[in-house]
Structure 1
Amino acid sequence: MFSQSLRYWLLLLIMRILLSSSTPTAGKVPAIIVFGDSTVDTGNNNYIPTVAKGNFPPYGRDFDGGVATGRFSNGRLVTDFLSEAFGLPSSVPAYLDTSYTIDQLATGVSFASGGTGLDDLTAKIPSVIPLNQQLEYFAEYKEKLKLAKGESLANEIIAEALYIFSIGTNDFIVNYLVLPLRPAHYTAPEYVTYLVGLADEAVRHAYDLGARKMELTGLAPFGCIPSARTLNHDEPGECNEEYNQLAMRFNAELKEAVRKLNDDLASAQVVYAETYSVVAAIVANPSDYGFENVAQGCCGTGLIETSVLCGMDQALTCQDANKYVFFDSVHPSEATYRILADEILNNALRIFL
């Protein structure tokens, strides 16, 4: 009788051990820390002197409370959805927003700035925060975290946090193609390599500051954004395939950089997040994803308006942004960001769940 009871309790103990080992650890990622451009700027540009802002209607009209937070969309961004998926708050605060305490920033923070790029020159054009300054803010944030949480817990948060880099499109659109500032110094392939080198440097800098779990987001087919279609003189209204080729070239070199970073950086996990094929599929068959309009943004005429231009004539803004792939002529709608977040979570970030 005793032996049967003992066997029962041993079996129960073994089952508990097996179950606990197969269940994902809660809080495996204690924070989402973000660097980048307007695709992940949750309001930092509100606090700097720049025209590149999204803190007025119709931006934010589908955000909680209908508030224009500075996000360049009608609602939440990819990083907001990712934060929620990891069991963290449903939106990632902007670092420069002083209404947030360091305790609130301990579970997620965005240093991103709309209009910036990997190339410092890109940030100078709209007077926004360059990537190297974002990394300096991160170093500052670390010290604040140590004061608030103690060095041991702060170091644990920094080591286990997920770091997201979403940046690069403005370098091409603003700096190379529309305002041709860099072509005098670089051919297009040379500029791609230069930018990927800067991305590599940024990741290594973050690593030196304690980052270990890092995701680099590839570029979407930016030749298909509404403003690129509008400015496509050869085929008005169509995707600019020359632009898309640059995005694909950048992505190929970025993937190789990610491979090398994993080889070079001890204990680091660096992943590449694919977005090009996802957006390309949406553009090719929008109705499959519930969209009705892929060629125009929801705000204004949908052809060229972004940032301040988006808020000039709200009467023209569409009624249902969920039917539009893009909210303005550059930035995706919340519905598109949600699809991208799901894809990134189920593929690139699966190892961190």
Structure 2
Amino acid sequence: MAVQRATELRLLLVAMAVAAVTARGAAGGGAAKVPAIFVFGDSTVDVGNNNYLAGISARADFPHNGVDFPGGEPTGRFSNGLIGVDFIAAAMGFTRSPPPYLSLIAMDANSSGEVMSNMMMAAASAMKGASFASGGSGVLDSTGTTISMTKQIEYFSDLRDQISTILSAEKASTLLSKSIFLISAGGNDAFEFFSQNKSPDSTAIQEFCEAFISTYDSHVKVRDPNYDPVPSSFKMLIGQ
């Protein structure tokens, strides 16, 4: 009974969160230029996901990170202040950057029902976007030990499903198809390759580049923008 009541309370909070998001959108008079921003990548766009990963060294939740950030506290950004995604979000009319996805689902769950309702709350909170980026990751899943690009896309897929449950599949598809999908990754792949290959020959470099491009292509499936401007793998995820 207690679990059922807790779940009902969380679902009520989901409804309240959706209403609050809708009200903010109406009050803002449509100031934001896009519905949401979803971010994938490495430390160049990580706004705090690594704070929620245990046993890793790729962290930025300590001074002097954040010393020039509003409030002067470390946020998990690998920077003394704002990073590029903060400026992009501001330019798009948002009052803040998309929050780290793991901050939205972090909880001490005691039942699968609580986990599911918490994911729905995360979806309600992410109507204006979320960041899945993780410092130390790369395009190649073999790069780093944090949240791989494949896992980041899986997280987005889970979030998409919950948004569809809240809004309906059609409305969720419309929201996501008009949103920005920002990817900033690749540097760590190059760093790791050259750290393991001090003097690579042209064949090794060519093989690395081909593997990198092929993997990136499998993640986003970029097509002719004049014909189909939406990356097809994300198109599959957003339901088009």
- The verdict on a shared fold, with TM-score over 0.5 as the criterion, is yes
Letter in 1 for 2:92: F
Letter in 1 for 2:224: N
Match of 2:77 among 64, 71, 87: 71
Secondary structure of 2:162's partner? Answer: helix
Partner of 2:162: 144
- 1:152, distance to aligned residue in structure 2 (A): 3.0
- 1:27, distance to aligned residue in structure 2 (A): 4.2
| Alignment RMSD | 2.7
List 4+ stretches of structure 1 deviating above 4 A: 25-28
Partner of 2:140: 119
Unmatched tracts of structure 1, length 5 or more: 1-24, 205-257, 271-353
Query: Would you say 1:48 and 2:66 are equivalent positions?
Result: no
Partner of 2:187: 169
The CA distance in 2 between the partners of 1:111 and 1:188, in whole Å, is: 29
Once the two structures are superposed, what CA deviation does each residue of 1:175-207 show, in whole Å capped at 9, x if it has no partner? 2112339x69x6113212221221111113xxx
Compared with structure 1, are the counterparts of its residues 269 and 96 closer, same or farther at alpha carbon in structure 2 (3 Å cutoff)? closer
Kindly name which structure, 1 or 2, has the bigger radius of gyration based on alpha carbons.
1
Match of 1:33 among 21, 34, 38: 38
In the alignment, is the contact (CA less than 8 A) between 2:33 and 2:93 conserved in 1? Answer: no
Letter in 1 for 2:90: E
Match of 1:268 among 196, 221, 230: 230
User: Across the two proteins, how many residue pairs are aligned to each other?
Assistant: 187
Compared with structure 1, are the counterparts of its residues 68 and 265 closer, same or farther at alpha carbon in structure 2 (3 Å cutoff)? farther
User: What are the within-5 Å matches in structure 2 for residues 76-225 of structure 1?
Assistant: 76-98=82-104, 101-123=122-144, 127-173=145-191, 175-180=192-197, 187-204=204-221
- 1:76, distance to aligned residue in structure 2 (A): 1.5
The CA distance in 2 between the partners of 1:265 and 1:111, in whole Å, is: 28
Partner of 1:16: none
Unmatched tracts of structure 2, length 5 or more: 1-29, 107-120, 233-240
- 1:104, distance to aligned residue in structure 2 (A): 2.9
Partner of 2:65: 59
Q: Give the TM-score, by structure 1 length.
A: 0.48
Letter in 1 for 2:194: L
The CA distance in 1 between the partners of 2:50 and 2:122, in whole Å, is: 18
The CA distance in 1 between the partners of 2:32 and 2:204, in whole Å, is: 45
- 1:101, distance to aligned residue in structure 2 (A): 4.0
Letter in 1 for 2:40: F
Once the two structures are superposed, what CA deviation does each residue of 1:219-250 show, in whole Å capped at 9, x if it has no partner? xxxxxxxxxxxxxxxxxxxxxxxxxxxxxxxx
Q: Give the TM-score, by structure 2 length.
A: 0.70
- 1:109, distance to aligned residue in structure 2 (A): 0.8
Letter in 2 for 1:196: I
Once the two structures are superposed, what CA deviation does each residue of 1:145-195 show, in whole Å capped at 9, x if it has no partner? 12333333222111111101100000111x2112339x69x6113212221
The CA distance in 2 between the partners of 1:46 and 1:108, in whole Å, is: 19
Partner of 2:113: none
